[in-house]
Amino acid sequence: MAERYDGKVVQITGAASGFGALAAQRFAHEGARLALSDVNAEALAETADNLRAAGAEVWEAPLDVSDASAVAAHLAEIGAQFGRLDVAINNAGVGHDMAPLHRLDEAEFDRMMAVNARGVFLGMKHQLPLMLANGGGAILNVASAAGLVGAGYLSAYAASKHAVVGLTRAAADEVARKGIRVNALCPSFASTPLFDEMADQVAARHGASRDEAYTRIAARVPMGRVARPEEVVQAMLWICDAENSFMTGQAISIDGGLTAV
């Protein structure tokens, strides 16, 4: 039986770790041909080598998603290498140290917007022409629950992720009649390296251990725990599936009920 992504070309940014690395593994398992990128060249190469060893077709290249010329060249190379682009997952992102807004450095705000928001804008700017030429496709932008609600002490991060949701909805409106679906995924707390960094900050703030910080954070989630990365990546597979053909312009929360209350 054919896998649901057999022969499909899937681009994933931020593919060296966290959701991106796991997504690359799962899409490869479903038959996808992969175009991977990350700012961490060494970790990206390791991810790609492991996937190739398991039989996947992978092309990878280091990429700073905030660099306009680099993103343009990267997408042009995907077109040259594969001749098409079926799915694009704009997953690359960064966070910042927890701090009240009035103490947040302007440079940190600019960094959040450059990577998290500008990176998604630049990605779609060059992904859409490839998909339009191919007659369709699916784009998934990884936002955050912080892009749907207020996120105290993470104001710049929240602002950048709200921008991702806005870009997603605008793009979806523009290309809905052209066979391209554009959605956003909004996970809350999940067991990733970025979450570990946040937990360490919470631990330092309260004079607690990392395990105690995990417990404190999980207590904020109605389900009483943080997400497993597999739960988030499973949603990626479903959202991008061609059979999920009537969903576009949506910001899908995978958050254990956090944004429901």
Q: Look at phi and psi of residue 53 and say left if phi exceeds 0, alpha if psi is from -120 to 50, else beta.
A: alpha
Q: Residue 35, class by beta-carbon neighbours within 10 Å (0-12 exposed, 13-18 middle, 19+ buried)?
A: buried
In the chain, the N- to C-terminal Cα span, in Å, equals 42
DSSP states of 16-67 as a string? Answer: TSHHHHHHHHHHHHTT-EEEEEES-HHHHHHHHHHHHHTT--EEEEE--TT-
Residue with tokens 């807004």: 101
* Identified catalytic residue from 5, 153, 157, 214: 157
Is 157 catalytic? The answer is yes
The span from the CA of 207 to the CA of 184, in Å, is: 35
Positions marked catalytic: 157
